[in-house]
Amino acid sequence: MSVLPVSSSRAEPAATAAPEPRVKIPVAVLGATGAVGQTFVQLLDAHPWFRLAAVAASERSAGKTYREAARWIGGEMPRAAATLSILPCDPAAVDAPVVFSALDAAVAGEIEAAFARAGRIVLSNARHYRLERDVPLLIPEINPDHLALLEAQRAARGWSGGIVTNGNCAGIVIAMALAPLHQVFGVRQVFATTMQAVSGAGYPGVPSLDILGNVIPFIEGEEEKIERETQKVLGRLERGVLHPAPFAVSAHANRVPVEHGHTACLSVALEKKATPDEAARVLREWRGAVADLDLPNAPVPPLVVSDAPDRPQPRRDAWAGNGMAVVVGRVRSDPILDLKLVASGHNTIRGAAGASILNAELMLARGLLTGA
């Protein structure tokens, strides 16, 4: 299978306005009928660089149209997607060079490998490969250089394509808030307590009888993900080897009756002392590593810092930057460590589908989708 040519103007993205490739790149979504899959379909509708060409899902949806197979949970299903036929999650059936994976963890390992082996670039939201040494756990604003791992990945695994992952929904929000602090002051310790929206559990997900007027102080596997992924995202690549950032994270993960938007209360110890004002300024001025690329889904700025005493709030702030910005507020002193702050972000956009798409945008801008 060959990859469609990307307009050569993409190799060196223009300096200012976002250009469009002459021909949009056809992309597929694996696991397209679930909640994250639907968010992919929504965000890819009218994407300037990508065209949703195929939707794939499990056997029981095979042969149906997307409209028939997906119980759409948002507003209106995009028309172009509605009439697509559901394909099996098999590279032989899915004819697209770029594949977004919203697969369940249980099946993601094998299926994603099959696509990578078949020469496709897989942008995965599944956790299966996130902590593998040769797989980028990518947040463009933070660690675009981690894409260099792809070379080792291809060499080691004999794949002509590759897998690039994004972090778990809460971890991304936390990593975004920590990145500027880590870059300037060095993060030494993090205590994080999350309050996570129900959309993070997919659909049907959390039963209403469990969460109406309630808090559930447990999300399976979530605390471990937060405690292990953050260091990799903020890690340093040296001579092709990734060194995780040397700080420890302690996480409490809670489910709360919020539709969209994960909120994290953070207590942070720094290597180099900083006042809350200094920290807030660093957060506010941060532009991230890819501000010059004008990626369609890269928010400007990546972090919105609020001065209000009671923000961020998920219902009011989740849509900042079209759901791609992380809102930070209440930057203040911690009586034990250095700083307390609160971060909030849209879990199915910045924390899932939007993250994968932004990763693909970065790869396209860097010429990494051509010749895949």
Catalytic residues: 169, 262
Q: By CB under 8 A, is residue 351 in contact with a copy of itself? A: no
Contact 85, 316 (CB under 8 A): no
Q: Which amino acid is at 341?
A: L
The reply to whether 158 sits near a copy of itself by the rule CB under 8 A is no
Closest distance to a copy of itself from the beta carbon of 239 (Å):
29
Q: Give strand pairing partners of 372.
A: none
Is there binding between residue 359 and a copy of itself (CB under 8 A)?
A: no
The 3-state DSSP class for residue 157 equals: helix
* Parallel/antiparallel/unpaired status of strands 25-30 and 98-101: parallel
Taking contact as CB under 8 A, which single stretch among the options 108-116, 141-149, 170-178, 251-259 is the one that binds a copy of itself?
251-259
Site for a copy of itself in 320-339 (CB under 8 A): 320, 329-330, 334-337
Nearest approach, Cβ of residue 62 and a copy of itself (Å): 23
Structure tokens at 181: 């602090």
Look-up of token digits 């947040």: 139
Q: What is the rounded (10 degree) CA torsion for 34, 35, 38, 44?
A: -120
Whose tokens are 């009218």? That residue is 46
What's the angle, vertex CA 7, arms to CA 3 and CA 12, rounded to 5? Answer: 115
* Residue 266 beta carbon to a copy of itself: minimum distance, rounded to whole angstroms: 8
Toward a copy of itself, which CB reaches closer, 207 or 240? 207
Of 53-61, 72-80, 131-139, 236-244, which segment contacts a copy of itself by CB under 8 A? Answer: 72-80
Cα distance between residue 60 and residue 54, in whole Å: 17
Residue 75 touching a copy of itself (CB under 8 A)? yes
- What residues from 101 to 140 belong to the interface with a copy of itself (CB under 8 A)? 119-120
Distance of closest approach, residue 115 Cβ to a copy of itself, in angstroms: 11
Q: Is 246 in the site for a copy of itself (CB under 8 A)?
A: no
Contact 31, 56 (CB under 8 A): yes
Give the interface segment with a copy of itself, choosing from 108-116, 187-195, 281-289, 292-300 (CB under 8 A). 187-195
In the range 27-66, which residues lie near a copy of itself by CB under 8 A?
Answer: 35, 49
Q: Which residues contact 207 (CB under 8 A, 6 or more apart)?
A: none
Rg (CA), the chain: 20
Task: Point out which span in 23-31, 59-67, 148-156, 272-280 binds a copy of itself (CB under 8 A).
Answer: 23-31
